[in-house]
Amino acid sequence: MMLRLAAWLVLGLLALPVVTIVVTSFNATSSFAFPPEQWSLRWYRNVFDTPVFGSGLVMSLWLAAASSMIGLVAGTMTALAVVRYRFVGRGLVLSLVMAPLVVPEVVIGLSLLIWLQSVRWLSGNGAILLLHCLVVLPFVVRILVANLQRTDVNLEHAAMLLGANPVQAFVRVTLPTIAKGLAGALVFALVMSFHNFTATFFLVSTQQTLPVAIFQYIRTEHDPTIAALSTLLMVGAMVIVWVTDRLLGLERVTK
Amino acid sequence: MTAATVMAGAGTGTRIRLDRISIRYGDFTAVDDLTLAIEPGEILALLGASGCGKTTTLKAVAGLQRIDDGEIRFGERRVDGLAPHRRNVGMVFQSYALFPHMTVTENVRFGLAMHGVPRHRHGERIRRVLDMLHIAALADSYPDQISGGQQQRVALARTLVVEPLVLLLDEPLSALDRQLRDVMRTEIRNVVKQTGITSLLVTHDQEEALTVADRVAVMRAGRIEQVGSAREIYEAPRTRYVADFIGRMNYLPGRVLDQGGGVCRVETAAGVIVAPAVPGLGAGQPVEAGFRPEVVRVDDAGAPRGDRNRVEARLVGETFAGVTTEYRFRTAGEVEIRALGQSDARFGAGADRRSCLEWPVSRTLVFAAGA
């Protein structure tokens, strides 16, 4: 009985921020009063009337897509090298790739900012993309290393002995066997990039990402627009999770 | 449906030759100047303890392992520089390595597609090979839905459907339970023999080597200790290592008394033991006289005969193992002798009773000590 009560309490605590934000977003006044006295959709309208959110969303989506794809390719190659081959400096490569996991994001952001001033050809958006790749890479590598370690190397060997060249063996056997890992890594990478604020904040110039735009907005304005925006983002995230689950759940991929 | 019609394109087997190959990892020599020929259509077993280099040798034939010295030839063609996918070698892995995201049919089809066999011919060839291995009913199953024995058959089907020049079997039965192993041993031998593909089997299981292969090569520390038919290896092992690896053996330590007249006489604590002469042994040399437990008989009444060795021993214990029972005796000098008898025929009598043990001179071997 006590256990059940505690469970509900924890669940309630987890849901509380979400519920609060959703309810507040429908407030008719600019106060954060909870629960609201009057209801309206005016803050949702305001979200769409604030151009910086639209451009921020586009920027964030573009960044997430680009950095995830780059991270996925680079991460897969790194994971393959580390798991399948023994070479000098293998441990070093792995620790360097994993470093962004433990180095504070402030440090990464600041360090890239310093570099940006001396390396001229690295433009603002290029630097942010590079940063996001760095942020995304360790997650991709970690997931894929675990995945590759669980797959039998002999699968590739078997494919080659059946006449597949190394590229065919990789595409037709290795990739499908790590498909779930790749999908998981991709979703993780998209989220990590889309969320990133701390490190990105150092490098933002003219073109803001959505988290930075939100931060800038609440520095000056005090109204539930951000609550409305957050609600929209949550709905979007839920749709994406549902769709991925349906797609990956239906498709037969290996455990 | 016979395998011969399935494998119509395989033709006669290919001779495999390993000529003085060496494989080194840093300071460690995994395969040491090894020479071996496998005749067309023959099944040869590489038998040895783990770490003896047998799997490394197999991988070298497959192209999954580079060699540092020597040559590998299939027929007249030198293959050691070729990538695995250009060698036309079939391999059944210990883990089977079935593609988990493909059905049984898709697994078998893979090799046909990679070899560029026209698609309209796939169905017929897949059906034949699945029939041959009695797995037609599993065509649409995924590997994780079928049993270990069935996976083994699929692995074999996937390999044979492309009609490889050479078949490699890496501990093919080690993942199966005992009863299934007995069935698959016969099955593998029959299927491979029907296709006529030259095969190399790697195993640490002596029984598997003796029953599946035509010839057995015992490996030790990267070298081949002895090659021969199962019977030759078992009855006439050239070294103690081979004798111990295949079956069990009793040893009576002693010294050579003399050699001559086709026999070698050895002085031991239990008496003089006679064996067929061994070239290269001189009088006084420390040796061990060996004989298998199953050739030993208890014969208290019989008189000494020239063609049999005879020692006195007392029974110290017995172990019942179903069909057979192992009896342990001690001779003068406290050397243990094991004798294997049918369980229903009472062998020795009570413990500590003195008995006369005897066995044929022709089944006695002499090994130089330390060999």
The residue ranking higher by pLDDT, B247 or B98, is B98
Longest dimension (CA), chain A: 72
Q: A161, B95: Cβ pair inside 8 Å?
A: no
Whole-number pLDDT of residue B344: 64
The pLDDT tens digits of the residues spanning B117-134 come to 999 999 999 999 999 999
The pLDDT tens digits of the residues spanning A205-230 come to 778 899 999 998 988 888 889 889 99
pLDDT level of residue B7 (50, 70, 90 thresholds): very low
Q: Please tell me the distance from the alpha carbon of residue B45 to that of residue B189, in angstroms, as a whole number.
A: 12
Q: B99, A168: Cβ pair inside 8 Å?
A: no
Among A157, A163, A177, beta carbon nearest to B114: A163
- Residue A57 contacts by C-beta under 8 Å, 6 or more apart in sequence? A210
Among A155, A163, A166, beta carbon nearest to B111: A163
Single out the residue of A130, A126, A140 nearest to residue A72, CA to CA. Answer: A140
Whole-number pLDDT of residue A75: 94
The residue ranking higher by pLDDT, B229 or A250, is B229
Q: Please tell me the distance from the alpha carbon of residue A143 to that of residue A138, in angstroms, as a whole number.
A: 9
pLDDT level of residue B345 (50, 70, 90 thresholds): low
Q: A162, B162: Cβ pair inside 8 Å?
A: yes
Q: Give me the phi and psi of B269, to 5 degrees please.
A: -65, -25
Task: List, as ranges, residues 148-177 from B with C-beta within 8 Å of A.
Answer: 158-159, 162
- Give yes or no for a contact between B293 and B324, defined as CB atoms under 8 angstroms apart: no
| DSSP state letters, A178-204 | THHHHHHHHHHHHHHHHH--HHHHHH-
Q: Please tell me the distance from the alpha carbon of residue A13 to that of residue A34, in angstroms, as a whole number.
A: 16
Q: Please tell me the distance from the alpha carbon of residue B212 to that of residue B188, in angstroms, as a whole number.
A: 7
Q: Mutating which of B108, B110, B151, B170 best tests the A interface, going by the most A Cβ atoms within 10 A? A: B110
Chain B residues close to A161, C-beta within 8 Å:
62-64, 84-85, 87, 89-91, 159
Q: Please tell me the distance from the alpha carbon of residue B287 to that of residue B366, in angstroms, as a whole number.
A: 7
Q: Please tell me the distance from the alpha carbon of residue B117 to that of residue B122, in angstroms, as a whole number.
A: 7
Report how many Cβ contacts below 8 Å link chain A to chain B.
75
pTM: 0.80
Q: Please tell me the distance from the alpha carbon of residue B87 to that of residue B285, in angstroms, as a whole number.
A: 50
- Residue A222 contacts by C-beta under 8 Å, 6 or more apart in sequence? A30, A32
Tell me the residues of A at the B interface, defined by beta carbons under 8 Å apart. Answer: 152, 154-155, 157-166, 168-169, 172-173, 176-177, 179, 252-254
- Whether B3 shows a pLDDT value over 80: the answer reads no
Among B62, B93, B99, beta carbon nearest to A173: B99
Q: Give me the phi and psi of A122, to 5 degrees please.
A: -85, 100
Residue A238: other Cβ atoms inside 10 A: 10
- The DSSP letter of residue B12 is S
Distance from the A249 Cα atom to the nearest Cα atom in chain B, whole angstroms: 14
